[in-house]
Amino acid sequence: MIWRHSNCVAKVRTESANRLAVLHLDANQPVVLEGTAVTIWDLIDGERTEQALLAELECCFEDQTAQMQSQIEAFLANLAAQHLIEPAHATNQ
């Protein structure tokens, strides 16, 4: 799957770039991402597949527990459930 950021999302990043607040315009509360979550968000570009995203993260972070793939899949599913990301081939309604 290739993901992209939803066009209906507002973003605010701290100066240090370690925190990012994202808000779907139909939601009441923002989602605050920190650390690795911000790195993943930044890698979601509408071009990378999930496998390419995982490979990039494996280069950056040591996966001592061998659970990185399942954790990333769950994180992406959570972002998609909140309509913060969508499949790259989707069209906005």
Token code pair at residue 37: 């979550």
3-class DSSP state for residue 93? coil
pLDDT of residue 76: 97
Q: Which one-letter DSSP state was computed for residue 49?
A: B
Say if CB 46 and CB 2 are below 8 A apart.
yes
User: What's this model's pTM, rounded to 2 decimal places?
Assistant: 0.87
Specify whether the CB–CB gap between 19 and 36 falls below 8 A.
no
Q: Nearest to residue 3, comparing CAs of 89, 87, 91?
A: 87
Q: Could you give the domains of the chain?
A: 3-87 (3.90.930.60)
pLDDT digits (tens, 9 = 90+) for 20-55: 999 999 999 999 999 999 999 999 999 999 999 999
